[in-house]
Structure 1
Amino acid sequence: MLDNPVFASFILYGSLLILKMYIVAIITGQVRLHKKAFANPEDALRHGGLQFHREDPYVERCRRSHHNDMENIFPFLFLGAIYCMTKPDLFVAQIHFLVFFLGRVVHSVAYLCALRAPTRSLAYTIAQLPCFSMLLQILWTLFSH
């Protein structure tokens, strides 16, 4: 399968997206430690006491960023894998994957750094375009055969 350049490109971008998700998760954990805001009482006790079993606005921002990644990257991975089976043009496929990847990176940066609106929503929308395009091409392929 890795002999297929479209699929190889998809694997590259999919792997980078998963790496990005891991980085956001690590950032969330580090912010929890720095802010001493733990979701579980046993973690709070380990780091100073039950008073640290609490929410923090910035920790919640990090968690929302990570949650948004899961809501968007997992469907991309499904759509992208099926899209690769439709034998798309390599250049067109790479543009789809690159636009989604860059949109998600900008979205995460905008979320974590609290960049001015509409940066985050614009990045979200731009990243949805290739997903919608891949979905339409998958449906077209299914119904045209």
Structure 2
Amino acid sequence: MLRNEVFACFAFYGTLLILKMYIIAIITGQVRLRKKAFANPEDALRHGGAQFHRDDAYVERCLRAHRNAMENILPFLFLGAVYSLTGPSLAVARCHFLLFFLGRVLHTVAYLLALRAPTRSLAYIIAQVPCVSMAIQILMAVASYA
């Protein structure tokens, strides 16, 4: 499977995106510890007391960033894998994967650092363009089989 250069390129960027999601999860855990804002009573008790079973605005921001990453990266993983099987040019595929990756990294940075609008929205749009392109190309490639 990794003899397919396009799929290997997809696997590279897909793995980086999964690692990025793990990093957001680690950041969320560290923010919970620093802010003493735990979702579960047993965690709060372990780290200082029941009063720390509470919400925190920045923890919630981290969770929203993580949820948004999952909502967008999971469809990309499907689209990218199927797109890789349609025989696209390596250069064009690499541009799709890189653009999505960069858009998602910028989106996460904008979310976590609360950068001014419309930074996060633009990053979202940048990442959606290659997904829409891949979806259209997949549909065109399989339309005759449907």
TM-score by length of structure 2 reads: 0.98
Shift of 1:50: 0.7
Query: Which residue identity is paired with 1:17?
Result: L
Query: Which residue identity is paired with 2:121?
Result: S
Q: Which residue of 2 aligns with 1:35?
A: 35
Query: Which residue identity is paired with 2:106?
Result: V
Alpha-carbon distance in structure 1 between the residues aligned to 2:56 and 2:66:
15
Tell me whether 1:86 sits opposite 2:86 in the alignment.
yes
CA offsets, 1:6-60, max 9 Å, x none?
0000000000000100001000000000000000000000001110000000000
Alpha-carbon distance in structure 2 between the residues aligned to 1:144 and 1:90:
24
Task: Structure 2 unaligned segments of length 5 or more: list them.
Answer: none
Alpha-carbon distance in structure 1 between the residues aligned to 2:141 and 2:15:
26
CA offsets, 1:78-124, max 9 Å, x none?
00000011000100000000000000000000000000000001000
Q: Which residue of 1 aligns with 2:116?
A: 116
Task: Structure 1 unaligned segments of length 5 or more: list them.
Answer: none
Q: Which residue of 1 aligns with 2:69?
A: 69
Shift of 1:144: 3.9
Tell me whether 1:103 sits opposite 2:107 in the alignment.
no
